[in-house]
Amino acid sequence: MVSSNAPRDPVPAGAGRLIRAVEWLVLRIAAAWPFLLFFVGFFLFWEYAVILFGVPGYILPTPSEIVTRGWADIPRLLDYTLVTGTESVLGYLLAVAVGLPIGLAIAFSPMLRRTVYPFFVSLEMVPKIAFAPLFIAWLGFGLLPKVIIVVLVCFFPVALNSIHAFGSLSDELTRFCRSTGAGPLRTFWKVRLPAALPQCFVGFKYAALNATVGATIAEFMGSDQGLGFYISIATGNMRPDLAFAGIFFLTLLGLALFGCVTLAERLLIPWHISQRRH
Amino acid sequence: MAATIDIKSLSKTFGTGPQAVHAFGPVDLTIEAGSFVSLLGPSGCGKSTLMLMVAGLLEASEGAIYFDGERVGAPRTDIGIMFQDNTLVPWRSVEGNIALQLELRGLDPKPYAGRIRDLLRSVKLDGFAARHPYELSGGMQQRAAFCQALVHEPETLLFDEPLGKLDAMTRESIRTDLQALWMTRRPTVVFVTHSIEEAVQLSSVVCVVTPRPGRIERTIEIDLPWPRDMEVKASPAFTRYVHDIQGIFRDYGVL
């Protein structure tokens, strides 16, 4: 006879959590299967197409060769990832630290809107990366010119989106705040800043994508370390296998930076439509 | 105490020179303390412009507005204001949005917790205090905005087509709430609308505003019993008011 007081879930709590986690993982994999299938299929096609058509390794290596030779050079790849990562993160943070207040100042100052803003918009049209050789020539092979180039490619998305973000509070909310008699500072903290965050994050995310691109190109131009340097040297030495390994680590670096910004966005504006889970 | 609002030779022109647009006026009007006055007119006639000038949120080109004899020269902070697009912010809950009105005024919302609860109950939103605006329907959002406009106990309420975007059933339901509030507390209400039926149902006085440049064509006292429920709306007197006002707009080619 079954007792009516028998526990409904006979699985212990710890095991229950594990089962749920496994279930979650299985479900996620099940949901991602089309992508995973495509991903695996793509690399299989690459592997066997190279073998089938007899493409020489110095033109296009197979994925398995890239993994094997990249693994053999892992200490250097990790060192260089740290170098490029430092340039990207420092430049990115500096661009945000400078771009956000400048964007804010332009949004609130009619004088700056008439003078600096058109200048920034014109500069946005200039391919900033074209300045890279100049900075290398002026400042040498060290960290500083790379950081400056990353700042250049990250600054404009941050600043221009901040100008837009802080300058576009709805008429209704502006009037509502004025009708309460709130001063500019209180209005800023309570309404303007949170209202501006989603648009600011558009700039932050775009800049995060630019950061590793800026650092890599700066390293192409003149460097003795970093993933850009590594890829450039590997290509010059007819070692595309190592170049691909470098590209793989650059991709991981870009994903990590973008992931951090996306996480910050999720934490700071969970209420925004882009963050809601349905 | 509810304020008497005196509007003297008020007009508003936007822009200058050949680009200037004469939006409103000149208008003279007295809104008695404790009355419910609707500004009724077609789109673009300047009725919202007049409301913003009354709130001190827009400067008049000529003339002046007085609250109990005191000239309006800056945004009035003793009013409650509500727009067609509500002023709820998405990062705060319903309760937090109502508290925002207080926080912007430098007030601590804690002592107002009971009042916020009562307000939410009065508009049938109890149980939704912790929800965010995006979790509510359009009608519920406007009800929450209504509480936001009332929490600091203003004696003058300005409504700029607050029901304009709602469906017919929700509009009817919120009109009932609005009417109940006015009958209980008797604030001075200025209500901008383009619905003739809404104006006649809610108002003690309807000001018929002409197409641009808006002028007050006629001030009509609505002599119907309160509360103006479905029965009153079905009465011949109600229909006559609606019909007379329709006639004015027909003469202007609006209808």
**B189-203 pLDDT, tens per residue?**
999 998 999 999 999
A176 CB neighbours in chain B (<8 A) are 81, 83, 87
Among A178, A181, A195, the residue with its CB nearest the CB of B89 is: A195
Residues A48 and A116 in one domain: no
Q: Tens of pLDDT along A53-104?
A: 999 988 999 999 999 999 999 999 999 999 999 999 999 999 999 999 999 9
CA separation (Å) from B113 to A277, B107, B119? Answer: 30, 12, 10
Size of interface A-B (CB pairs under 8 A): 59
Determine the 3-state secondary structure of A53 from DSSP.
Answer: coil
A178 CB neighbours in chain B (<8 A) are 57, 75
Check B57 against A271: CB less than 8 A apart. no
The DSSP call for residue B90 is T
Among B75, B90, B103, the residue with its CB nearest the CB of A179 is: B75
Q: Decide if A182 is inside a domain.
A: yes
Whether A131 has a pLDDT exceeding 90, the answer reads no
What confidence score (pLDDT) does residue A1 get? 40
Residues A180 and A87 in one domain: yes
Q: Tens of pLDDT along A209-223?
A: 999 999 999 999 888
Residues A98 and A136 in one domain: yes
Q: Tens of pLDDT along B148-169?
A: 999 998 999 999 988 887 888 8
Asked if B77 reaches chain A (Cβ–Cβ under 8 Å), the answer is yes
Please give the backbone phi and psi of residue B32, each rounded to the nearest 5 degrees, phi first.
-65, 150
Residues A187 and A246 in one domain: yes
Residues A46 and A74 in one domain: no
What confidence score (pLDDT) does residue B24 get? 85
What mean pLDDT comes out for the span A138-164? 91
Q: Tens of pLDDT along A105-116?
A: 999 998 999 998
CA separation (Å) from B78 to A167, A193, A206, B2, B81? Answer: 27, 26, 44, 10, 10
Distance from CA of B246 to the nearest CA of A (A): 30
Whether A231 has a pLDDT exceeding 90, the answer reads yes
Distance from CA of A78 to the nearest CA of B (A): 41
Cβ atoms within 10 A of the Cβ of A182, count?
22
Q: Decide if B8 is inside a domain.
A: yes
Q: How many domains does chain B have?
A: 1
Residues A67 and A203 in one domain: yes
What confidence score (pLDDT) does residue A81 get? 96
B164 CB neighbours in chain A (<8 A) are none
Whether A277 has a pLDDT exceeding 60, the answer reads no
Distance CA A66, CA A248 (A): 10
Whether A2 has a pLDDT exceeding 50, the answer reads no
Asked if B130 reaches chain A (Cβ–Cβ under 8 Å), the answer is no
B28 band by pLDDT with thresholds 50, 70 and 90: very high
Q: How many domains does chain A have?
A: 2
The DSSP call for residue B23 is E
CATH number at residue B230: 3.40.50.300
Q: Decide if B145 is inside a domain.
A: no
Average pLDDT in chain B: 90
Structural domain boundaries enclosing B70: 1-78+188-255
Searching chain B, which residue's CA lies closest to the CA of residue A197? B91
Distance CA A148, CA A139 (A): 10
What mean pLDDT comes out for the span B77-104? 93
Residues 189..218 of A with a Cβ closer than 8 Å to B: which? Answer: 190-191, 194-195
Residues A21 and A158 in one domain: no
CATH number at residue A193: 1.10.3720.10
Distance CA A200, CA A250 (A): 25
Lowest mean pLDDT among B4-8, B17-21, B184-188: B17-21
Please, what is the Cα angle at A226 between A222 and A232, to 5 degrees? Answer: 60
What confidence score (pLDDT) does residue A142 get? 85
First to last CA, chain B: 39
Residues A140 and A213 in one domain: yes
Structural domain boundaries enclosing A48: 15-54
Asked if B103 reaches chain A (Cβ–Cβ under 8 Å), the answer is yes
Residues A94 and A123 in one domain: yes
Q: Tens of pLDDT along B95-117?
A: 999 999 999 999 999 999 999 99
Q: Decide if B90 is inside a domain.
A: no
What confidence score (pLDDT) does residue B122 get? 85
Distance from CA of B39 to the nearest CA of A (A): 19
Q: Decide if B197 is inside a domain.
A: yes
Asked if A169 reaches chain B (Cβ–Cβ under 8 Å), the answer is no
Asked if B101 reaches chain A (Cβ–Cβ under 8 Å), the answer is yes
Check B81 against A176: CB less than 8 A apart. yes
Q: Decide if B146 is inside a domain.
A: no
Check A177 against B104: CB less than 8 A apart. yes
What confidence score (pLDDT) does residue B18 get? 84
Q: Decide if A41 is inside a domain.
A: yes
Q: Decide if B112 is inside a domain.
A: no
Q: Tens of pLDDT along B32-43?
A: 999 999 999 888
Calculate the CA dihedral of residues A181, A185, A191, A194 and round it to 10 degrees. Answer: 180
Do B217 and B210 contact (CB within 8 A), yes or no?
yes
The residues facing B156 across adjacent strands are: B79, B188
Asked if B86 reaches chain A (Cβ–Cβ under 8 Å), the answer is yes
Among A172, A271, A272, the residue with its CB nearest the CB of B83 is: A172
Q: Decide if A9 is inside a domain.
A: no
Q: Decide if A10 is inside a domain.
A: no
Residues A122 and A36 in one domain: no
**Would the CA dihedral through B145, B150, B154, B159 be positive or negative?**
positive
A182 CB neighbours in chain B (<8 A) are 104-106
Whether B3 has a pLDDT exceeding 80, the answer reads yes
Q: Tens of pLDDT along A14-49?
A: 677 788 878 877 887 788 888 888 989 999 999 999
Q: Decide if A5 is inside a domain.
A: no
